[in-house]
């Protein structure tokens, strides 16, 4: 039995972890498939290769985005250990249990909202908590929230969701571009009696919605898994 979570058999946990990975991979493949299909509708085989290149860029450069840069975009300010020693102790303890390469850098967001978020990879990451969260939660409750965020870092969920967001945004952009082309050319096609591919038109209209639904399902899967991992860490 796992000493961190004695109620769950290790084999059951491993089965769940693999099922979650396969589910996530399937949903990413679905989103990538929509993107490639739109590329094919607009530009043929060359469009498919273009979309594959978009995916390759996301895979290659997604993990290289600096956590510090992301934190600056959110207006987060770095904390020093002397300012919140107990908070740093919790982050370091959870990071050791999660077997991260190094503990995340800790940031503070001057907001009354109850929120926390993490960015980065197990090799380089950062976690931010809002002022409202620090004021409203006790240390035990805060530990649960931080365990959830560190679980996201450990599982590289942030990179996965960034890739999914790239696919979703690219699908929406191609859909709008395709609908514009249809709007411009449809009158000419009707005048000259050209065949209208209604399947392609419907795909252009509904592909962004279907891709967004896949992204939501992927997000739910990663959130549930982070909750279970957080239970193991705490």
- Which helix H or strand E contains 142, and what residues bound it? helix 139-154
Residue 99 — left, alpha, or beta (φ > 0 → left; ψ -120 to 50 → alpha)? left
The answer to whether position 150 is within a domain reads yes
d(C-alpha 104, C-alpha 127), whole Å: 6
d(C-alpha 69, C-alpha 90), whole Å: 24
The answer to whether position 97 is within a domain reads yes
The answer to whether position 20 is within a domain reads yes
Ranking 61-70, 127-136, 153-162 by mean pLDDT, the lowest is 61-70
User: Going by C-beta distance under 8 Å and a sequence separation of 6 or more, which residues neighbour residue 133?
Assistant: 113, 114, 115, 116, 142, 145
Out of 89, 92, 149, 223, pick the active-site residue: 149
- Which helix H or strand E contains 204, and what residues bound it? helix 198-233
What CATH number did the domain enclosing 139 receive? 3.30.2010.10
Residue 143 lies in domain = 10-233
How many Å separate Cα 9 from the centre of its chain? 28
Question: How many folded domains does the chain comprise?
Answer: 1
The answer to whether position 115 is within a domain reads yes
The answer to whether position 3 is within a domain reads no
The answer to whether position 2 is within a domain reads no
- Which helix H or strand E contains 120, and what residues bound it? strand 116-120
- Is pLDDT of 2 > 70? no
Q: What Cα–Cα distance (Å) separates residue 15 from each residue in 10, 22, 151, 225? A: 9, 11, 18, 12
How many Å separate Cα 229 from the centre of its chain? 17
The answer to whether position 1 is within a domain reads no
149 in active site: yes
Longest C-alpha distance within the chain, in Å?
A: 76
Q: How sure is the predictor about 198, in pLDDT bands with cuts at 50, 70 and 90?
A: confident
The answer to whether position 117 is within a domain reads yes
d(C-alpha 71, C-alpha 28), whole Å: 26
Pick the most confident of 60-64, 127-131, 188-192. 127-131
What pLDDT is attached to residue 66? 83
Give residue-wise pLDDT tens across range 50-91: 998 888 887 777 666 788 888 998 899 999 999 999 999 999
Which tokens belong to 205? 């209209």
């Amino acid at each position: 039995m796992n000493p961190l979570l004695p109620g769950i058999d290790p084999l059951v946990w491993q089965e769940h972890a693999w099922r979650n990975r396969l589910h996530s991979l399937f949903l990413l493949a679905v989103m990538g498939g929509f993107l490639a299909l739109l590329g094919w509708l607009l530009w043929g085989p060359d469009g498919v290769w273009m979309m594959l290149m978009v995916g390759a860029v996301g895979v290659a450069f997604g993990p290289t985005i600096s956590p510090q840069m992301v934190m600056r975009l959110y207006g987060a300010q770095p904390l020093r250990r002397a300012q919140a020693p107990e908070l740093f102790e919790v982050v370091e303890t959870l990071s050791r249990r999660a077997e991260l390469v190094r503990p995340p850098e800790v940031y503070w967001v001057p907001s009354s909202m109850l929120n926390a978020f993490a960015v980065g990879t197990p090799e380089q990451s950062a976690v931010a908590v809002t002022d409202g969260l620090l004021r409203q939660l006790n240390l035990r409750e805060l530990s649960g929230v931080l365990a959830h965020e560190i679980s996201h870092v450990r599982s590289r969920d942030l990179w996965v969701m960034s890739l999914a967001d790239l696919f979703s945004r690219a699908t929406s952009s191609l859909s709008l571009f395709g609908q514009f082309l249809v709007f411009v050319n449809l009158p000419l096609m009707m005048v000259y009696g050209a065949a209208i591919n209604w399947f392609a038109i419907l795909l252009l209209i509904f592909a962004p919605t279907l891709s967004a639904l896949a992204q939501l399902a992927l997000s739910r899967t990663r959130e549930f898994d982070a909750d279970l991992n957080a239970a193991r860490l705490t």
